[in-house]
Amino acid sequence: MEKIDIKDDEVAIFAVGGLGEIGKNTYGIQYKDEIIVIDAGVKFPEDDLLGVDYVIPDYTYLVENIDKIKGLFITHGHEDHIGAIGFFLQAVNVPVYAPPLALALIKGKLEERKMLRNANLNEINEDSVFNFDNIKVDFFQTTHSIPDTLGIAVHTPAGVVVETGDFKFDLTPVTHQPPNLQRMAKLGSGGVLALMSDSTNAERPEFTKSEAWVQKSVEQIFDRTTKGRIIFATFASNMSRVKMAMEAGVRHGRKIAVYGRSMETAVRNGRELGYLDVPDEYMLEPQDLKKTPADETLIMSTGSQGEPMAALARIAAGTHKQIKLQPGDTVIFSSNPIPGNTASVNKVINELEEGGANVIYGSINNIHTSGHGGQEEQKLMLSLIKPQIFMPVHGEYRMLKIHGKLATDVGVDPDNVFIQENGDVLAISKERGARVAGHFPAEDIYVDGSRIGDISSAVVRERQKLSQDGLVVITATINMETKEILSGPDFLSRGFIYMRESGDLINEGRKVAFNVILKAMNQDGANEASIRDAVVEEMGRYLFNKTARRPIVIPTLIRVK
Ligand SMILES: [Zn+2]
Ligand SMILES: [Zn+2]
Strands 358-360 and 330-333, by their bridges, are: parallel
Shortest CA distance to 386 belongs to which of 185, 196, 207? 185
Separation between Cα atoms, residue 447 and residue 531, nearest integer Å? 35
* Distance in Å, CA 13 to ligand 2 centroid: 18
- Does some domain include residue 132? yes
Residues 252, 340 within the same domain: yes
- Supply the CATH number for residue 171's domain: 3.60.15.10
Separation between Cα atoms, residue 158 and residue 99, nearest integer Å? 27
In this prediction, residue 266 carries a pLDDT of 94
* Distance in Å, CA 148 to ligand 1 centroid: 11
- Write the CA distances from 161 to 65, 202, 355, 384, integer angstroms: 20, 21, 54, 14
* Distance in Å, CA 457 to ligand 1 centroid: 27
- Three-state DSSP class for residue 477: strand
Smallest-distance ligand from the CA of 146: 1
Beta strands in 176-320 (DSSP E): 192-198, 230-233, 255-259, 297-301
Shortest CA distance to 86 belongs to which of 62, 119, 58, 63? 119
- Does some domain include residue 483? yes
- Three-state DSSP class for residue 346: helix
Range of the domain at 476: 470-559
- Supply the CATH number for residue 475's domain: 3.10.20.580
* Distance in Å, CA 555 to ligand 1 centroid: 49
Secondary structure element (H or E) that encloses residue 48, with its range: none
Residues 304, 189 within the same domain: no
* Distance in Å, CA 149 to ligand 2 centroid: 11
* Distance in Å, CA 305 to ligand 1 centroid: 17
Shortest CA distance to 170 belongs to which of 225, 213, 227, 216? 213
Shortest CA distance to 71 belongs to which of 99, 39, 102, 41? 39
- Three-state DSSP class for residue 219: helix
- Does some domain include residue 464? no
* Distance in Å, CA 463 to ligand 1 centroid: 31
Residues 202, 230 within the same domain: no
Separation between Cα atoms, residue 551 and residue 493, nearest integer Å? 9
**Final residue belonging to a domain, choices 310, 345, 362:** 362
* Distance in Å, CA 394 to ligand 2 centroid: 7
- Helices marked H in 427-502: 457-469
Residues 160, 40 within the same domain: yes
- Cis preceding linkage at 489, omega within 30: yes
Residues 415, 329 within the same domain: no
* Distance in Å, CA 259 to ligand 1 centroid: 23
CB distance 264 to 256 below 8 Å: no
* Distance in Å, CA 78 to ligand 2 centroid: 6
Show Cβ contacts of residue 482 under 8 Å, excluding neighbours closer than 6 positions.
Answer: 561
Smallest-distance ligand from the CA of 81: 2
Separation between Cα atoms, residue 175 and residue 270, nearest integer Å? 11
Show the CA angle centred on residue 175, arms to residues 171 and 176, nearest 5°: 60
Smallest-distance ligand from the CA of 78: 1
- Does some domain include residue 177? yes
Smallest-distance ligand from the CA of 394: 2
* Distance in Å, CA 80 to ligand 1 centroid: 7
Secondary structure element (H or E) that encloses residue 554, with its range: strand 552-559
In this prediction, residue 105 carries a pLDDT of 94
pTM: 0.80
* Distance in Å, CA 62 to ligand 1 centroid: 23
Residues 28, 144 within the same domain: yes
Separation between Cα atoms, residue 378 and residue 197, nearest integer Å? 8
Evaluate the CA torsion angle 454, 459, 460, 463 in order and state its sign.
Answer: negative
Show Cβ contacts of residue 309 under 8 Å, excluding neighbours closer than 6 positions.
Answer: none
Smallest-distance ligand from the CA of 39: 2
- Write the CA distances from 406 to 155, 200, 376, integer angstroms: 25, 13, 9
In this prediction, residue 49 carries a pLDDT of 54
Q: Give, for all 561 residues of the chain, the pLDDT tens digit.
A: 678 999 999 999 999 999 999 999 999 999 999 999 999 999 987 655 555 677 899 999 999 999 999 999 999 999 999 999 999 999 999 999 999 999 999 999 999 889 999 999 999 999 999 999 999 999 999 999 999 999 999 999 999 999 999 999 999 999 889 999 999 999 999 999 999 999 999 999 999 999 999 999 999 999 999 999 999 999 898 999 999 999 999 999 999 999 998 999 999 999 999 999 999 999 999 889 999 999 999 999 998 888 888 889 999 999 998 899 999 999 999 888 776 788 888 999 999 999 999 999 876 788 889 999 999 999 999 999 999 999 999 999 999 999 999 999 999 999 999 999 999 999 999 999 999 999 999 998 887 655 555 556 666 666 666 666 777 888 888 888 888 888 888 877 776 665 555 677 778 888 888 989 989 888 888 888 888 888 888 888 888 887 777 888 888 888 777
* Distance in Å, CA 428 to ligand 2 centroid: 25
- Supply the CATH number for residue 309's domain: 3.40.50.10710
**Final residue belonging to a domain, choices 342, 362, 382:** 362
* Distance in Å, CA 81 to ligand 2 centroid: 6
- Does some domain include residue 4? no
Separation between Cα atoms, residue 560 and residue 232, nearest integer Å? 68
CB distance 419 to 399 below 8 Å: no
Separation between Cα atoms, residue 264 and residue 497, nearest integer Å? 47
* Distance in Å, CA 121 to ligand 2 centroid: 21
Residues 319, 347 within the same domain: yes
* Distance in Å, CA 292 to ligand 1 centroid: 36
Separation between Cα atoms, residue 502 and residue 372, nearest integer Å? 54
* Distance in Å, CA 297 to ligand 1 centroid: 30
Q: Give Cα 264 distance to the centre of its chain.
A: 21
- Helices marked H in 29-115: 60-64, 79-82, 85-91, 100-112
* Distance in Å, CA 200 to ligand 2 centroid: 8
In this prediction, residue 558 carries a pLDDT of 80
Smallest-distance ligand from the CA of 201: 2
Residues 399, 490 within the same domain: no
* Distance in Å, CA 78 to ligand 1 centroid: 5
* Distance in Å, CA 540 to ligand 1 centroid: 45
- Does some domain include residue 460? no
Strands 330-333 and 230-233, by their bridges, are: parallel
* Distance in Å, CA 409 to ligand 2 centroid: 24
Residues 215, 198 within the same domain: no
Phi, psi of 398 (to 5 degrees): -65, -30
Smallest-distance ligand from the CA of 168: 1
**Final residue belonging to a domain, choices 402, 422, 455:** 455
- Does some domain include residue 429? yes
Residues 346, 407 within the same domain: no
* Distance in Å, CA 526 to ligand 1 centroid: 58
Strands across the sheet containing 451-455: 54-56, 445-448, 451-455
Q: Provide the domain count of the chain.
A: 3
Residues 434, 478 within the same domain: no
In this prediction, residue 478 carries a pLDDT of 85
Show Cβ contacts of residue 552 under 8 Å, excluding neighbours closer than 6 positions.
Answer: 462, 465, 466, 469, 470, 471, 472
* Distance in Å, CA 299 to ligand 2 centroid: 27
Smallest-distance ligand from the CA of 102: 1
Smallest-distance ligand from the CA of 27: 2
- Does some domain include residue 279? yes
Strands 445-448 and 149-156, by their bridges, are: unpaired
Residues 349, 269 within the same domain: yes
Show Cβ contacts of residue 352 under 8 Å, excluding neighbours closer than 6 positions.
Answer: 315, 316, 325, 329, 331, 359
Separation between Cα atoms, residue 34 and residue 14, nearest integer Å? 14
Task: State the virtual CA torsion across 146, 148, 151, 156 in degrees, nearest 10.
Answer: -150
* Distance in Å, CA 165 to ligand 1 centroid: 8
* Distance in Å, CA 413 to ligand 2 centroid: 27
